[in-house]
């Protein structure tokens, strides 16, 4: 879809809503899916492109927070539009142990309304909005962060997860 084409107006999923279903190939030969996580709380974060400075910092921050999140029963899944080869290389390069999923066709991003029109240097294009969703045990969205600024974000997510 071209940036100038309009999309049907559909509300983005928000706090209290059922998390949209998903199933995606993920790093390490895994499958990341809502059904596979039923009954367990988790973080689903969307990032624009593997192995870029902001996305690397965000992934490494979540990796660092992983032990504390695991102690409270929270899993983490990162989602980008990158192909699996690029995602696998990114995960290996930085020792990322949590699943990084490929949403190359943007279906999951569109369901979560993170595939958005962006603008840079006067050019508009479609791209991934850096966003995070905290999903509770019942499969409902407990918290949403949109247009995320990376510094301190993983710590904010961990703090919110502790009160689930």
Segment 13-62, tens digit of pLDDT: 999 999 999 999 999 999 999 999 999 999 999 999 999 999 999 999 99
Domain-located, residue 134: yes
| Catalytic residue of the set 26, 50, 55, 109 | 55
Indicate if 60 belongs to the active site. no
Both tokens of 106, joined, read 């943007």
Task: Scan for tokens 């009954």, then name that residue.
Answer: 39
Share of the chain above pLDDT 90, in %: 91
56 within some domain: yes
Q: Which residue has the tokens 């499958």?
A: 31
* Residues 155, 121: Cα–Cα separation, whole Å: 32
Q: Domain for residue 10, yes or no?
A: no
Query: 80 lies in a domain?
Result: yes
Cβ(112)–Cβ(13) under 8 Å?
yes
5 falls within a domain: no
Instruction: Identify whether 95 is part of a domain.
Output: yes
Digit-coded pLDDT (tens) for 57-89: 999 999 999 999 999 999 999 999 999 999 999
Residue 160, Cβ neighbours under 10 Å: how many? 16
From the list 70, 63, 71, 64, the residue with the least C-alpha distance to 96 is 63
Token pair recorded at residue 109: 């991003």
Number of domains in the chain: 1
| Residue 10, CA distances (Å) to 15, 93, 100, 111 in order | 15, 38, 27, 10
* Cα separation, 15 vs 87, whole angstroms: 29
Does 96 score more than 70 pLDDT? Answer: yes
- Which residues face 77 on adjacent strands? 44
Question: pLDDT grade, residue 6 (50/70/90)?
Answer: very low
Residue 2 lies in a domain: no
CATH number, position 37? 3.40.30.10
In this predicted structure, the answer to whether residue 106 has a pLDDT above a threshold of 80 is yes
Of the pLDDT bands very low, low, confident and very high (cuts 50, 70, 90), residue 121 is very high
* 17 domain residue, yes or no: no
Domain range enclosing 29: 23-162
| Euclidean distance between CA atoms 18 and 34, whole angstroms | 11
* 3-class DSSP assignment, residue 141: strand
């Amino acid at each position: 879809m071209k940036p100038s084409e309009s999309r049907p107006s559909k509300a983005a999923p928000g706090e209290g809503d059922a998390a949209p279903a998903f199933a995606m190939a993920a790093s390490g030969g895994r499958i990341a899916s809502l059904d596979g996580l039923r009954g367990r709380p988790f973080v689903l974060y969307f990032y624009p492109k593997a192995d870029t400075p902001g996305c690397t910092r965000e992934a490494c921050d979540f990796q660092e927070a992983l032990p504390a999140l695991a102690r409270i029963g929270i899993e983490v899944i990162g989602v980008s539009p990158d192909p699996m080869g690029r995602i696998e290389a990114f995960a290996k390069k930085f020792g990322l142990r949590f699943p990084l999923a490929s949403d190359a066709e943007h279906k999951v991003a569109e369901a979560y309304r993170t595939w958005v029109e962006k603008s840079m240097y006067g050019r508009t294009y479609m791209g991934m909005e850096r966003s995070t969703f905290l999903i509770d045990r019942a499969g409902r969205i407990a918290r949403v962060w949109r247009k995320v600024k990376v510094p301190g974000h993983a710590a904010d997510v961990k703090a919110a997860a502790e009160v689930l």
